[in-house]
Structure 1
Amino acid sequence: MKKKWKQKLIKHFFGIAGIYDEHVELEVGKATTWAVIAVFIFEMIFNFGMLLLASLGAIHNFETVFYLTLAIQIIGVSAIISLVTYFRFKKSGINNKEVIAEKKTATLDKFYRKSVSVGTGFFLFEWIFSTLFDMNGQGLWFTLFTWREIRMALLEAIIFTALMTFFGRRKIKTIKYDNE
């Protein structure tokens, strides 16, 4: 049976390693339902608080508050969706990658190569964007190749890659192979 594009999108978005069957679809449905409920509660409380601040006259610069509110909502909604789905999938175990003992080394090598390539992409992204936001009136090329910018982006990329590798390795489980 050919996969539908929605199933491929869901597998890629949630990082589901195994087969997309009815059990996985049920767990994705439960996780997204809880995520929607959590986002709704967050938005209601946050918007009520902002309404209360605005109605009491505590806000004098609405443009700054607008940008701050927008940033908090984007970060909050992203964090809620990520955390709710992560813990739900961790509880059900559908994000685990099951391999036999003979293929574990090859799977770990492939995972390490992927971690290094994602870490390299993160380094480039962080290096360029931190430079764009920290030019201090100097030229782009001068600021881009300062040791401070490279060092900060490299440090963040190393920490990100190490954490991604640590948590990703824990998802690879060894199973016994029955060849009967």
Structure 2
Amino acid sequence: MKTYLALAIAGLALQGVSAAQAQPTQAPSSHSHQHYEAQQRAEIEEVLKSYERALNASDVGGVVQLYTDDAVLLAPEASSAVGIKAVQGAYTAIFQAIGINITFEIAEVKLLSPEWAFLRSNSTGVIKILANSAQIPGSNQELFVLRKSRGRWKIARYSFSSILPSAK
């Protein structure tokens, strides 16, 4: 009986040890998932920083390279620019009319899947009307839908609207 009891206790002890050893293998997968999400968010945030730099430099090529080929740009009081050529044309027209000096602040980044995410932001700064050199404040709220294409996050859809009171 004592032998049976000793074997039972030893068996339980071994189960406890193997359960304790098994638990740490779950933690790294949780940790690696958090690391993956943090890395994806950092890559998405870098897209916005690159967009800000290109926008402020009036760099059509720099802006367009951040978009997917099937991108859609939804700007206020304008028709949707659908496809990369239309997006390029829209930015060319924008930069011929205004100079932009704005800063984006990220409000939210949400990974929807390994290939899709959205970024919500606010921007503030100054818009210069090139025709008369007038400078006006600019303040927008933005929604970017991003798609991972060939290992890189790109802007698939972009919509923005002013949060300043309209001049009536």
Higher relative contact order (CA closer than 8 Å, sequence separation 6+): 1
Quick check: which one's helix share is greater?
Answer: 1
TM-score under structure 2 length normalisation? 0.27
Q: Larger Rg: 1 or 2?
A: 2
TM-score (norm: length of structure 1): 0.26
- Judging by fraction of residues, say which structure has more strand: 2
